[in-house]
Amino acid sequence: HLVVADLKELPVGGSTLSLFTNDKGGIEDDTIITQQQDSLYVVSNAGCADKDFAHLNKHAKIFQDQGADVEVRKIEDHSLIALQGPSAQKALEQLAGIDLAQMAFMTGQTVDIAGVPCHVARSGYTGEDGFELSIPTGEVVGITARLLENPEVKLAGLGARDSLRLEAGLCLYGSDIDATTTPMEANLVWTIGKRRRAEGGFIGADVILPQLAAKGGERRRIGLIVEGAPARAHAKVLSADGEEIGEITSGVPSPSLGKNVAMAYVRKGFNKRGTPLKVQVRNRIQEATVVKMPFVAANYHKI
Partner 1 sequence: MLSVLRTARVRFAPAARRMAFRSFVTKYTESHEWVRIDGDTATIGVTDYAQNALGDVVYVEVPEANTEVEAEDVVGIVESVKSTSDIYSPLSGTIIEGNANVVANTKLVNKSPEADGWLFKIKFSDKEQLDALLDATKYKQLIEDGH
Residue ranges binding partner 1 (CB under 8 A) = 159, 163, 228-230, 252-253, 255, 260, 282
Q: How far is the CB of 156 from partner 1 (least distance, A)?
A: 13
Nearer to partner 1, 108 or 230 (CB): 230
CA 12 to chain centroid, in Å, comes to: 21
* Shortest spacing between CB 160 and partner 1, in angstroms: 9
- Given the complex with partner 1, which of 21 and 163 has the nearer CB atom? 163
Looking at the Cβ atoms of 106 and 160, the one nearer to partner 1 is 160
Phi, psi torsion values for 128, nearest 5 degrees: -120, 170
Q: State the distance between the two ends of the chain, measured CA to CA, in whole angstroms.
A: 33
CB of 232 to partner 1, least distance (A): 8
Residue 102's SS3 state is coil
CB 159, min distance to partner 1, A: 5
Q: Which residue, 216 or 228, has its beta carbon nearer to partner 1?
A: 228
Nearest approach, Cβ of residue 166 and partner 1 (Å): 11
The angle subtended at Cα 222 by Cα 297 and Cα 239, nearest 5°, is: 135
Check residue 93 and report its DSSP letter. H
- The smaller minimum CB distance to partner 1, of residues 245 and 252, is found at 252
Q: How many CA atoms lie within 13 A of 124 on its CB side?
A: 29
Q: Are 261 and 176 in contact (CB under 8 A)?
A: no
